[in-house]
Structure 1
């Protein structure tokens, strides 16, 4: 059964993790993937997420898929208890997940029931397609990306940061343009979407 916790801001919603896991995350090892943040000017949200996991007693296994060798990626994704993907540029993240082979490994692990935690870009990439987010994230960050098809771990498109600064205007623009095309779930920075098998709950 697939188990995913999708957020706009992990540090703001970390308190929802124990309920999602149905137990304390203490002593869980996190395959911590900050790749999406590389094209960004600031990675403060990555540091905040790392601190939130640490405060809950988790052990961080940093996994930068854009530079890690295939064996390191395989070992981390297979052996760590949780998989976390940070926010940042969704197109760059998808490009590097495919190029490194991490995309297929993540799908395998999630299909086997390993919990996946995605923040912003890390949440969007789980959907069937990420093309709708080009008003928020510049595609130019991923010049080698030849398709916007996502990981298809969920059957809906996740729109993060709804009505949350500095994304208030652009999230409404995206929702107005694409909201009726396919299933879309929009959440603000205080909300999270929990997916357990075929069940979806907004926390």
Structure 2
């Protein structure tokens, strides 16, 4: 597997894509899963940042893209990017039609995965600890907090408390509430988790 799990900054993305995909002599075809960000004020900012990397960006709403068609779409991509936003909404969308299982299968088979914030959190064993950051009530159809189980840790993004909705006091409350139940990985906004076949390590993403 090849995963790059961001808190917010995209700075580590170009080197990740160069390492995992290389130079194909054309812009890469990058899938962009939008569900977590729908209706959020900064959704366009993140999408514009990804487009500015210079690749072909294919926007995907997974709630509408299950089954064989979704698998075929993933097979046409060079990498997948899962945008930030509401974590519970994102996992609900992935679980609603089996898209999450298809995504996990392709990522385990080698499709490079880039997650940002919510897109990073869902890769772990559970999303329960981020209920203090995001709104569980926005995903009434979600029946389980189990994540995609691609990594062993539960990523807590924005852990340096620099973004106003997520002050340091809130991050500390998450640790106090959930730290003895889940393996939490606190990820600052200038960091990313890089996962490959050999190990996982926190790297700069300034």
TM-score normalised over the length of structure 1: 0.88
In 2: Cα distance, 1:54 partner to 1:165 partner = 23
In 2: Cα distance, 1:198 partner to 1:182 partner = 23
In 2: Cα distance, 1:19 partner to 1:75 partner = 26
Give the superposed CA RMSD: 1.9
Cα deviation digits, residues 73-122 of structure 1 (max 9, x gap): 22221211111111111111111101122101111111111110111111
In 2: Cα distance, 1:128 partner to 1:90 partner = 13
Distance change in 2, residues 1:34/1:190 (3 Å): same
Quote how far apart the aligned CAs of 1:173 are: 1.1
What count of residue pairs does the alignment treat as equivalent?
Answer: 196
Instruction: Give the counterpart of 2:163 among 149, 156, 165.
Output: 165
Aligned to 2:101, what secondary structure does the other structure show? helix
Structure 1 range deviating more: 149-158 or 192-201: 192-201
Cα deviation digits, residues 40-68 of structure 1 (max 9, x gap): 542x2x32332223222210111111233
In 1: Cα distance, 2:46 partner to 2:147 partner = 23
What corresponds to 1:19 in structure 2? Answer: 15
Instruction: Give the counterpart of 2:71 among 47, 69, 74.
Output: 74
Quote how far apart the aligned CAs of 1:198 are: 4.2
TM-score normalised over the length of structure 2: 0.87
What corresponds to 1:96 in structure 2? Answer: 93
What corresponds to 1:56 in structure 2? Answer: 53
- Aligned counterparts, 1:1-203, within 5 A: 2-9=1-8, 12=9, 14-21=10-17, 22=19, 23=22, 27-38=27-38, 40-42=39-41, 44=42, 46-68=43-65, 70-162=67-159, 163-166=161-164, 167-168=166-167, 169-203=169-203
Which runs of 5 or more structure 1 residues have no equivalent in the other structure?
none
In 2: Cα distance, 1:19 partner to 1:180 partner = 35
Which runs of 5 or more structure 2 residues have no equivalent in the other structure?
none
Which 4+ residue blocks in structure 1 deviate beyond 3 angstroms?
23-26, 68-72
CA contact (8 A) 2:87 2:118 kept: yes
Distance change in 2, residues 1:64/1:133 (3 Å): same
